[in-house]
Structure 1
């Protein structure tokens, strides 16, 4: 056994272990008091980097959840206002139906109906102007797409949510097939003899029938005039014309393959090819063409950008003219009829925690000037704001226009409902699940296991106490040298 006094190796060793145990106990105390396994980069560099990234994602997801919930509230507010507009439109339609009962109504009753309709339309305009969420107007058109066209006979109808901004160049519109109306042309000319013998004309359109049997006092002109009156009185959406050669022509007022009518005449060839036979009119054609070189679906005179197209999905334009040469031949590839310009002002929502995770929806104006503004009618009403039911024809046309407005409002409500259910609420469910899972993962990396850390603390505490005791013992070892010096 050798004894030294300049260097107490045992004490140095005990002191080193005491420092190690004390440092471990301090770190354990820090973890237990903070609840975190990683308090600084040195506690776990990789875990710190990953967990900090996760914290950013978690914070983003939390805000995205709040954003989505707010978006749901906005959509619900918008839909509730549209529901009120729809209720008012139903009331207007009921009044129009009442006003059309001309056999009973007098002037006072018609004035009362019109006054009530005017009030209802004013309320619709007020809802459109004042509906808001916070300070954001919802139904005045500021949250929808706006558009314009070049070309005398090309009109902008509406743009969908997925329609892109057209920028300065606009979207080129080409027509490859003209729209046409369903029709029938008589082959046999009307004569006074035919009329005085008692000719019966029958027209059926959309479940409505107009029939007129000529009398001995009728001429060709008066017979056709009386047939037209019957058509108007019964609300058929067709035009009756007497041609220069005294043959009769009937055309549907609307363009496209969706519209048609039935007809008969008691003389073969006047209208129907066989006497008294109910026949079907020749079918009309829907317009065909492209928008911005992309596929478009034709319905009547309206071209709609096909779903899934890159730029014009949901864009609607209306072409009221005809293209082609004198023989109606259209050049291969179609004829350009103008350009459509779109500015997309949709409401966009950040529904994810990362760049580009946005959705949006546009809500068009629902004021009465923008509703039913493309409906052909005998009264010349340009939009719902102009309807006047104080005449029989006005009441008939008002019903047609209100029906179109109800259809548009219902379609918009359906779009909002689908957007809320299938986009916002579905995304909200996914966000909550992802937030929960990511928080769990971050907790595994960052949070301390209290039970395991308490066991470690107890061990370090015992080791520290033991090292302290051993250091005291080691410090006593050099004192034995004094025994040798006595």
Structure 2
């Protein structure tokens, strides 16, 4: 019997101390609600929990970012709504000024004065529509892309939010083939002999059609009257003059029929007297059909539906990279230096007048010549660069997540009057909405067309903003919130205390602690018994 080392007591003390530590640990976890209170509680688990916590905080901030971005987009959309109201008022004034029957110059000047005030208000909205800073203008083009094209006949159309800015010299624009409309040529000149017997024509364009009979109605009466006039006095009213009048009557009737039936076609007479009908839109994506009861007027065969000669899309390069053509518009392909940038080339070969001079330099006449395509765009032997596109890119980055690549770019448009209504062909030569003038009837009619174009542009801009808000911002916000919830659940699983399991664990340690304390008392009785034995001796 030994008293120097009480191994039973020491062993019991060790277990009791462990139980006491277990009780203390359970109390700490229950009181804090966390399984992980320090790195030693689970180093590997702590790493995973911290990663999830960081992700959760990042997603929470991303959600706040999106909420602020939605407010910014709504501010811009509100400004566009006010611009739409101004444009609608301008349209009313333009239509009013075009009413020559009841308006005089004074009334049209009053309409023009009001339009000028409206244009000033439009520019003011573009200048003052901001979000959180007076310098963060949303609708003056400073937070989007701006393009300027240098070169005759070239016009900037659009760029995308991912289109890079141009180098200092600009992107080269090289037009290699001109756009052409769908066309159909008559095979014989328009003469009295050709129209002596009535011809029925059916012309179809995009599910719309027009049909007429050269022997019926006003057209038929006009043809018979011209023919009769010539037959009565062929010397005074020559066949050449009669045929020319027939051609003019036929073209006027055709163009009116196209306009009344909303066919995008136009008719004209060629120098050799043949009829030409062509589509108003350029490119190979539109065409039309003609069916005639007799050959010569437009088709080579009678009663055979014939498709017009297909149109052609423009071809060329922008910034040295290949581009896709659609009609007159050339768009740089993805992956090229100017990807997404689009320009239009509006020049087409025309008939030009050339003065005829005698040997002394005096004008003795005028000759008409048809321009060749290579005179406008050059050729393989004589290449020509048509112009240069200068593009600045200041599209806005919207941070939508917590990672570097979690962003989208959006380009806010320039809605100043000088940037709206561009590219509309008009007699008054208005280049943009800022140029409209209602002081004459022709100008008022042209102004109405430009205002219509501007209204369409603003409607499309509002649709783009709405789609960006709904499908990019709000849906991303929903996905971000769901991801944040899942990260929170995963972090909770690693970090938070399971109260029921921890209570059971603490109860176990408490029982072991009480049992150990009791056994420790028993283990200490052994040396005491030896002491009693020594005292008795």
Q: TM-score, normalised by structure 1?
A: 0.79
Partner of 2:324: 297
Give the 3-state SS of the residue equivalent to 1:389 in structure 2. coil
Change (3 A) 1:481 1:99: same
Whether 2:131 is the aligned partner of 1:133: answer yes
CA distances 1:54-104 after superposition (whole Å, capped 9, x unpaired)? 111111111111111222222222122212212221221122122212112
- Following superposition, the deviation at residue 142 of structure 1 comes to 0.8
The whole-number CA distance in structure 1 between the counterparts of 2:346 and 2:242 is 40
| Residues 348, 360 of structure 1: 8 Å contact kept | yes
> Aligned in 2, Cα 1:387/1:152: closer, same or farther, shift over 3 Å?
closer
Is the counterpart of residue 202 in structure 1 residue 253 in structure 2? yes
User: 1:380: which partner in 2?
Assistant: 429
Residues 204, 261 of structure 1: 8 Å contact kept: no
Show the counterpart of 1:316: 342
The answer as to 2:436 corresponding to 1:436 is no
Q: Which moved more, 1:167-176 or 1:155-164?
A: 167-176
- Shift of the 133–36 alpha-carbon distance from structure 1 to 2, 3 Å rule, reads same
- Aligned-pair distance for 1:33? 1.3
Aligned partner of 1:213 in structure 2 is none
SS in 2 for 1:369: helix
Which residues of structure 2 form unaligned runs of 5+?
192-238, 301-305, 349-371
Change (3 A) 1:262 1:386: farther
Does structure 2 conserve the Cα–Cα contact (< 8 Å) formed by 1:129 and 1:140? yes
Q: Which runs of 5+ in 1 are unaligned?
A: 211-235
- Match of residue 165 from structure 2: 165
- Map 1:4-403 onto structure 2 (within 5 A): 4-135=2-133, 136-149=136-149, 151=151, 153-167=153-167, 170-180=170-180, 187=189, 191-192=240-241, 200=249, 201-204=252-255, 208=259, 285-292=312-319, 294-306=321-333, 308-309=334-335, 312-321=338-347, 325=374, 330-331=379-380, 336-403=385-452
Q: For residue 113 of structure 1, report the CA deviation from its aligned partner.
A: 2.2
Give the direction of change, closer, same or farther, for the CA distance of 1:248–1:17 in structure 2 (3 Å limit).
Answer: closer
SS at match of 1:161: coil
Alignment check: 8 A CA contact 2:190 2:246 kept? no
SS of structure 1 residue aligned to 2:419: coil
- 1:456 is aligned to 2:518: no
Determine the C-alpha separation between the residues in 1 that align with 2:275 and 2:299: 13
Q: Is the 8 A contact 2:322 2:336 kept in 1?
A: no
Q: Label 1:261 to 1:84 Cα distance change in 2 as closer, same or farther (>3 A).
A: farther
Distance in 2, matches of 1:241 and 1:325, equals 24
Q: In structure 2, how many angstroms separate the alpha carbons of the residues matched to 1:144 and 1:443?
A: 43
* Aligned mate of 2:530, from 465, 481, 484: 481
- Going from structure 1 to structure 2, the CA distance change for 1:238 and 1:127 (only over 3 Å counts) comes to farther
Higher mean displacement: 65-74 or 472-481: 472-481
- Per-residue CA deviations over 1:30-54 (Å, capped at 9, x if unaligned) read 1111111111121111110111111
The answer (yes or no) to whether the contact 2:378–2:384 under 8 Å persists in 1 is no
Q: Is the 1:177–1:330 contact (alpha carbons within 8 Å) kept by the matching residues of 2?
A: no
Q: Tell me the alpha carbon deviations over residues 329-368 of structure 1, each in whole angstroms, 9 at most, x when there is no partner.
A: 8439x96434434332111111111111111100121010
Answer yes or no: is the 8 Å Cα contact 1:239–1:253 preserved in 2. Answer: no
Contact residue 423 and residue 431 of structure 2 kept, 8 A: yes
Cα distance change on mapping 1:260 and 1:373 into 2, 3 Å = farther
User: Alignment partner of 2:389: what SS?
Assistant: strand
